[in-house]
Each structure stands twice: as structure tokens, then as C-alpha cells.
């Protein structure tokens, strides 16, 4: 696996092609001259679809600059070198980048932020799904993925902790063929997959699907080797079909779907807190909670060139739903409430991006984005009556129906200029405007500035500033929702500030990368973020559903170091990040907090629950004669936060997870090459706890994976 911190011009990236992985500072030059095919324009009858498609891909890449930001690239070769190869979930792929911290339920935190990730596929924003356990995207679709963070250019907004920019595989690049395979192993895991791709003159397609089943769908709430009641079934599919209208224009339809079912794992030996009719005892190992998650999206894009202007215009829609089914008796006896929760979100989007060269030194980029979201939710809750002190007053439950619908509209526009000053300095400056209308109407104009300086032939420096505006998630608990549960065992205090606010922040980022000889590259990056109305989320209540709240102010800072060594068959990478994320004074959704916690946080900064002081990832691999490869990688974390003498005042113990792999390609005379890969996950079988159930917004304990052995077989045709 090759992870190289670089700061390259986009023109060089287009010429050299994708690297295995990189921590890249911003690019320094416009790639306008590289966008057109090298040969003279072809007539329709003589259309060379492969070369025209490649030129259009380059033009689409040039719509998205990264000047002033930090960039980390992982391509399909690097993914194949991970222990599970292409069967690695996307969130586990991203954990190989610096500053990315794992949390329970597959969650990720980048540079001390809570979630707030933006996913783009082939340059198109895919609105985030409802928070849950499952992964919507599949690593088998990825040609390369770039993690962009830091001081982003004006083109990127709304979700700005990091941009996960995915370029998918293409039938024009792969030719005609396909692949079938299966991964299986510990904990009842089975994961068959199939893909097909190809092109026919102007048409191109790439289609893939897979099915996953195992007995560890959600993190184990205990340290036992195998969780109780934790089976999952998941289906994912993705497709990209494109048609070349002419040498300068392409029409594409991209679509995807994920359907996942989860059993909620049980924590045995818990004691009921409530009585149910004449029943006073319930075995917590026999609870039967279930969750189903669905996501599907489709995007129609027209991409091409008008004169000297490159453009891409896309219409899309994403639908996401989550249904939680409680164990009615068990949840009532343990929690005093059994909530059947149904939530959905349908987002319709319009996105348009343009790039126009202005002479030899400037490239003007501009565009707009709009979305309309409808997010209904229903909570069918069974609760017990309670007295004025909150104590259960009857063992006969009552049913309360609580429904809500949020409609959100977002409009965004940006303009930015990439200015090359001489051969060594590039400045990217711009302005972005966002308007968000849901719980209230909020807006912001956000200036952006990024600089890259090429100091000699081996060193590159970058620095940037960005003003950010982040709307809250389209879900909220209102005063009317709270009032329905007065006088019950699910009563909440109403402090009057129940509507989440948009976050506003100032982000500063600077870094350097240095090539040390032909094989070693080092990178160092530092950042600071000053935040107003800092957003955070937590699991409040029994159901595994998140709720947004705001701190009045926050401050987040950190530093990242990356190293890469690449010398023929031997590759190694190392990342180390230090981060500190703190907030003060809860100003919305105070119903989630105890009075003592609210009083302390009002006058003190506290660590955010997802703060982790140190994180590290790394790996090595060696190939023997191109047919056999051995590898190892690891994850280290100093531990997320938990309660101590003050809220979030202590941290979980540190953890270290080592993974090993061995792969070999067998060549059979009758059937050709068969790829095999053996993975040993958590080879040392070190038990570690991500969460212990304490801390603000943390609902239950969760442990990391135990040792598992997995074998993958893959056959291309």
C-alpha cells in the first residue's frame, strides 16, 4: 500500500494518474490545457469513445480544485492491499487516513468534528443518509477516493468536516468483463459479490452488487467473543451508465441502493427498573429489538464543454429510512419506554459547477446547489404513568403517538478564482453564500482563501482560511413533543430552547510536505477551528436514534504527521494525529442533560464526547513476483471520552488493533487467474472498549471486534 503526502498541481495529477494514497496539500496550477484530447477533434463516425471519455473525466476533475486544503488519496490498488481487500467497508478504508477516528455504530470523526461528512460521487453531492449502523456505499465501486479537509475552497460547503470525494470505476477504462467472488469466515460471515462492466461505442456501464450476512452487525456491548442477538443481513447495489452524445458532451445516470437489517445486541444480567402488569423479572439476554435501514439514490448528470467552459449539471434524489422495532415488554421494564420509531428523509437536489479559464494565469470556477428535504418521523411509544417525582405510578402502560415532519430548503452559490502567480505560487480566493430554511431561516456569506508555494523541487507549503456554515440535521424534538410525555416515565424537562442552530466557524490550516530522496515522503499539517453554535449529536433515550444540540462556542485544534515509503515491491505508510475538541455552554436541546451537567458546562469548557487525544494508523506490504503479497496494518487510539469528575472528564483506555493478510494469485490452465486473500483481523485478539455507556449523548457500551479469520476468492472474467 502506498500512502504519499504530496502537494501536486491538478495538471500533474491528470498526467500521472492516481496514486495509491496521498496526503496532498493543495494543487498549484490550472489543468485547463490538459482537458482536451491530444489528437484533433474526431467526427461522430470516427468517435474514439475511450479517449473522449478520458478527456471528459479530466475535465470533470478540473471542476473541483483543492488549493489550500489537505488531501489524502486512496486508490483501488491501496484498497486491494487492505486485509479484507475490496470487501473492506468504506468507513474502514477511511480510517487509514490521518485524523480519522473510529466510533461505535461505524461512525467516523475527522479532525475533532462529529460526523458532518460530505460524500461526492463523480463530483456530485449525495446527501447524507439518516444515522444508523449500515454503510450505504461499497468499496468495490471505488477507482479512487480523496479525503479533503482543512480550509476548503468555496466550492465545498454545508458538510465540511471532510469531503469524501469518490471516483467510481468505468466501463470505458476497464473494457468488457466482470468479476464474481465471495468472502467468508468468522462470526458466520458470508459476503458474495458480482460486478459487470463494459462499453459499446458511445455507451459505458459499471454495475455491482453484494450481499453480507454475519453475527456481529453492531458492536458488542460486552467483552465476550460473540455478541448475543446481533445478526445482520445487508444488500448493496450500485450502477453507473453513461452515453457520449458527442466529443464534448456526456449524459450519465448513477444510482445506488442499500437495504440492511440489524438485530440490536443484548447486554445480559441487567436488572429491570420497572414492573409490567404482574411481571417483575425479565432476562435482558432475551430482548428482541430490531432495526431496518434503507437508502437509495439516483443522479442524472450532463457534463461537457461550451466554448472554453467546462460544466456539469446534475439532478438527483436520495431517499433514506430507518425503522426501529422495540421489545415492548422488555424495553418498558428496563427503560420505562418502548418506542417504535419510523423516520425517513427524501432529498431532491440540483447541482451545477462551471470552470472557465481566463488567460494563462486564472481559472474562474462558479456554481450553485439547491436541495429540498422532507423528513417525517413517527414515534409510537408505550410508557408508564408517573407521579410528580417521576416515579412509576402504575404497571399498566399507555400508548402515546408522537409524529413530526420537518421540511428543509437549502440554496448555495459560490465563485472562486485560481490565480497562478509565477511558477511557484498559486492563490485560490472565493466567496460562498448559503441559505438554509427549516426550523428557522439562516444564512451566511463565507470567504475562502488558500495559498500554495512550491519551495524548490521537493518541498511544498500550503495555508488556508475558510469561513464555514453548517446547518443542523433535519430532525428535532419540539416543545409539543416533550409535552406529550408529561406525567409518564418518559418525561423530559422543557427548557425552551429545543430547536438546533446552524454552526458557524473560522478554520485555519497550514502544512508542508517534503520529499526525502526518491522513495520517502513526509508531511506535517496543523489546524485550528474557532466555532460558534458548535453542533454535536448524541444518543439520548433507549432507541438508537441521534439528537442534535448546540454548544455556544467551541475550539478545536490539532496536528497531523504522515510518512510514506515506496520502493518497488515494498510499501509502508504511517500516520499520527493529535487533536483537542472542546465546547462550552449548551444552548439548545437542554432536555437531554441533567441540571448539574448543564450548570457545569455553562461556565466551563468540556471535552466533546468524540474527542480523542491521539490516533494513528499504518501498514506495510511486500509483493513477491507479483503473485504473492503479505501485509500488515494497524489502528491505534488513545480512547474517546467518558464521564469523570466532570462531564466527559475522563477518557477510555487506549487500544491497538493489528491486522494481517496474505494473498496469492493462482493461475489455472482451464479457468485462468483466481485471486485468493486471507485476512486475520485483530490478530492479537486484544479486547478494547470504544464506549462504556457514560459521557454526554452515549447510550450504551460498545467493544471493538475480536479476532476473526476471513478468506476471499475473486475471479475476473
Is residue 500 situated within a structural domain? Answer: yes
Please give the Cα distance from 162 to 153 (Å, whole number). Answer: 12
User: Are 603 and 596 in contact, with CB atoms under 8 Å apart?
Assistant: no
The whole-number pLDDT of residue 701 equals 86
pLDDT at 30 over 60: no
User: Are 408 and 366 in contact, with CB atoms under 8 Å apart?
Assistant: no
What is the tens place of the pLDDT at every residue in 141-169? 999 999 999 999 999 999 999 999 999 99
User: Are 609 and 130 in contact, with CB atoms under 8 Å apart?
Assistant: no
pLDDT at 8 over 90: no
The whole-number pLDDT of residue 54 equals 79
User: Are 234 and 212 in contact, with CB atoms under 8 Å apart?
Assistant: yes
Is residue 468 situated within a structural domain? Answer: yes
What is the tens place of the pLDDT at every residue in 543-553? 556 778 899 99
Is residue 1 situated within a structural domain? Answer: no
The whole-number pLDDT of residue 110 equals 94
Is residue 431 situated within a structural domain? Answer: yes
CA–centroid distance for 499 within its chain: 25
The whole-number pLDDT of residue 687 equals 92
Three-state DSSP class for residue 140: helix
What is the tens place of the pLDDT at every residue in 372-407? 999 998 989 999 999 988 899 999 999 999 888 889
The whole-number pLDDT of residue 669 equals 85
Please give the Cα distance from 130 to 109 (Å, whole number). Answer: 16
Please give the Cα distance from 210 to 238 (Å, whole number). Answer: 9
Q: According to DSSP H, which parts of 633-688 are helical?
A: none
The whole-number pLDDT of residue 38 equals 37
CATH number at residue 495: 2.40.170.20
The whole-number pLDDT of residue 139 equals 92
pLDDT class for 2, splitting at 50, 70, 90?
very low
Q: How many domains does the chain have?
A: 1
Per residue, the 3-state secondary structure of 6-74, as one string, reads CECCHHHHHHHCCCCEEEEECCCCCCHHHCCCCCCCCCHHHCCHHHHHHHHHHHHHCCCCCCCEEEEEE
Please give the Cα distance from 159 to 207 (Å, whole number). Answer: 28
The whole-number pLDDT of residue 46 equals 44
Residue 659, CB-side half-sphere exposure with 13 Å CA sphere: 26
Is residue 337 situated within a structural domain? Answer: yes
User: Are 323 and 344 in contact, with CB atoms under 8 Å apart?
Assistant: no
Please give the Cα distance from 507 to 160 (Å, whole number). Answer: 10
pLDDT at 109 over 80: yes
The whole-number pLDDT of residue 14 equals 29
Please give the Cα distance from 711 to 717 (Å, whole number). Answer: 20
Bridge-based pairing state of the strands 570-586 and 605-607: antiparallel
Q: What is the DSSP letter of 5?
A: -
pLDDT class for 491, splitting at 50, 70, 90?
confident
Instruction: Please provide the average confidence, as pLDDT, over all residues in the chain.
Output: 87
What is the tens place of the pLDDT at every residue in 627-653? 999 999 999 999 999 999 999 999 999
The whole-number pLDDT of residue 671 equals 86
Q: Which helix (H) or strand (E) holds 179?
A: strand 177-185
Q: Once rounded to an integer, what is the mean pLDDT over residues 502-519?
A: 93
- With b for 16 or more beta-carbon neighbours within 10 A and e for fewer, the 583-604 pattern comes to bbbbbbbbbbbeeebbebbeee
Bridge-based pairing state of the strands 117-121 and 162-168: parallel
pLDDT at 11 over 90: no
Q: Once rounded to an integer, what is the mean pLDDT over residues 47-71?
A: 76
Domain that holds residue 310: 10-716
Q: Which residue, among 345, 355, 348, has the nearest Cα to 475 in the 3D structure?
A: 345
DSSP state letters, 473-539: PS----HHHHHTTTTBTT-----S--S---EEEEEEEEEEEEEETTTEEEEEEEEEEEEEEEEEEEE
User: Are 294 and 45 in contact, with CB atoms under 8 Å apart?
Assistant: no
User: Are 355 and 63 in contact, with CB atoms under 8 Å apart?
Assistant: yes
Q: Which residue, among 492, 472, 495, has the nearest Cα to 483 in the 3D structure?
A: 492
What is the tens place of the pLDDT at every residue in 279-295? 999 999 999 999 999 99
Amino acid at each position: 500500500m502506498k500512502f504519499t503526502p504530496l502537494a501536486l498541481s491538478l495538471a500533474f495529477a491528470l498526467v500521472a494518474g492516481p496514486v495509491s494514497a496521498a496526503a496532498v496539500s493543495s494543487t498549484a496550477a490550472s489543468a485547463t490545457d490538459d482537458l482536451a484530447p491530444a489528437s484533433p477533434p474526431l467526427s461522430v463516425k470516427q468517435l474514439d469513445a475511450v479517449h473522449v471519455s478520458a478527456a471528459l473525466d479530466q475535465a470533470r476533475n478540473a471542476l473541483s480544485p483543492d488549493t489550500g486544503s489537505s488531501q489524502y488519496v486512496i486508490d483501488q490498488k491501496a484498497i486491494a492491499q487492505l486485509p479484507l481487500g475490496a470487501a473492506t467497508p468504506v468507513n474502514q478504508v477511511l480510517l487509514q487516513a490521518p485524523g480519522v477516528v473510529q466510533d461505535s455504530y461505524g461512525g467516523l470523526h475527522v479532525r475533532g468534528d462529529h460526523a458532518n461528512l460530505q460524500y461526492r460521487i463523480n463530483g456530485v453531492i449525495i446527501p447524507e443518509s439518516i444515522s444508523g449502523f449500515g454503510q450505504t456505499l461499497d468499496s468495490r465501486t471505488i477507482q479512487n477516493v480523496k479525503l479533503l479537509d482543512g480550509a476548503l475552497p468555496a466550492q465545498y460547503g454545508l458538510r465540511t468536516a471532510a469531503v469524501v470525494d469518490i471516483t467510481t470505476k468505468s466501463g470505458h477504462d476497464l473494457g468488457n468483463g466482470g468479476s464474481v467472488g465471495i468472502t467468508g469466515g468468522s462470526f458466520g460471515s458470508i459476503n458474495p459479490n458480482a460486478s459487470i462492466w463494459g462499453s459499446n461505442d458511445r455507451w459505458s456501464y459499471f454495475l455491482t452488487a453484494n450481499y453480507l450476512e454475519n453475527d456481529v452487525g453492531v458492536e458488542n456491548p460486552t467483552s465476550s467473543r460473540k455478541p448475543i442477538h446481533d445478526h445482520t443481513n445487508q444488500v448493496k447495489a450500485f450502477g453507473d451508465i453513461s452515453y457520449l452524445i458527442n466529443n464534448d458532451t456526456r449524459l450519465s445516470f448513477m444510482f445506488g441502493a442499500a437495504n440492511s437489517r440489524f438485530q440490536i445486541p443484548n447486554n445480559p444480567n441487567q436488572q429491570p427498573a420497572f414492573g409490567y402488569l404482574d411481571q417483575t423479572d425479565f432476562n435482558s439476554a432475551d430482548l428482541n429489538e430490531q432495526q431496518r435501514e434503507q437508502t437509495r439514490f439516483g443522479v442524472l448528470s450532463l457534463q461537457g464543454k461550451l466554448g472554453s467552459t467546462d460544466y456539469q449539471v446534475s439532478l438527483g434524489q436520495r431517499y433514506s429510512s430507518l425503522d426501529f422495532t422495540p421489545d415492548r415488554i422488555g424495553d418498558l421494564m428496563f427503560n420505562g419506554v418502548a418506542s417504535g420509531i419510523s423516520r425517513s428523509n427524501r432529498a431532491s437536489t440540483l447541482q451545477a459547477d462551471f470552470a472557465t479559464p481566463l488567460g494563462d494565469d486564472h481559472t474562474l470556477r462558479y456554481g450553485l446547489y439547491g436541495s429540498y428535504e422532507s423528513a417525517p418521523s413517527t414515534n409510537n411509544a408505550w410508557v408508564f404513568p408517573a407521579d410528580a417525582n417521576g416515579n412509576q405510578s402504575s404497571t399498566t402502560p399507555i400508548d402515546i403517538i408522537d409524529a413530526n415532519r420537518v421540511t428543509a430548503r437549502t440554496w448555495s452559490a459560490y465563485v472562486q478564482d485560481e490565480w497562478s502567480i509565477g511558477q511557484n505560487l498559486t492563490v485560490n480566493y472565493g466567496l460562498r453564500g448559503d441559505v438554509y430554511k427549516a426550523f428557522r431561516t439562516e444564512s451566511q456569506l463565507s470567504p475562502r482563501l488558500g495559498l500554495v508555494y512550491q519551495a524548490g523541487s521537493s518541498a511544498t507549503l500550503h495555508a488556508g482560511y475558510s469561513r464555514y456554515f453548517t446547518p443542523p440535521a433535519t430532525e428535532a424534538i419540539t416543545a409539543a413533543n416533550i409535552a406529550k410525555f408529561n406525567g409518564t416515565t418518559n418525561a423530559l424537562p422543557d427548557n425552551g430552547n429545543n430547536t438546533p442552530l446552524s454552526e458557524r466557524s473560522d478554520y485555519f490550516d497550514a502544512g508542508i510536505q517534503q520529499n526525502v530522496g526518491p522513495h520517502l515522503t513526509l508531511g506535517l499539517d496543523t489546524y485550528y477551528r474557532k466555532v460558534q453554535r458548535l453542533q454535536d449529536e448524541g444518543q439520548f433515550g433507549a432507541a438508537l436514534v441521534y439528537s442534535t444540540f448546540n454548544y455556544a462556542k467551541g475550539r478545536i485544534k490539532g496536528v497531523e504527521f504522515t510518512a510514506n515509503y515506496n520502493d518497488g515491491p515494498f510499501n509502508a505508510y504511517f500516520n499520527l494525529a493529535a487533536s483537542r475538541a472542546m465546547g462550552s455552554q449548551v444552548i439548545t436541546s437542554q432536555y437531554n442533560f441533567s441540571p448539574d451537567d448543564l450548570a457545569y458546562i455553562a461556565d466551563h469548557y468540556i471535552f466533546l464526547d468524540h474527542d480523542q487525544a491521539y490516533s494513528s494508523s499504518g501498514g506495510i506490504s511486500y509483493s513477491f513476483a507479483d503473485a504473492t503479497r503479505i501485509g500488515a496494518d494497524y489502528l491505534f487510539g488513545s480512547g474517546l471520552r467518558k464521564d469523570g469528575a466532570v462531564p466527559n472528564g475522563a477518557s477510555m483506555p487506549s487500544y491497538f488493533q493489528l491486522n494481517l493478510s496474505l494473498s496469492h494469485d493462482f493461475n489455472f490452465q482451464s479457468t485462468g487467474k483466481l485471486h485468493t486473500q486471507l485476512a486475520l483481523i485483530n490478530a492479537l485478539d486484544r479486547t478494547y472498549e470504544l464506549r462504556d455507556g457514560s459521557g454526554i449523548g452515549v447510550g450504551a457500551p460498545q467493544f471493538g471486534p475480536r479476532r476473526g479469520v476471513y478468506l476471499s476468492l475473486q475471479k475476473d472474467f
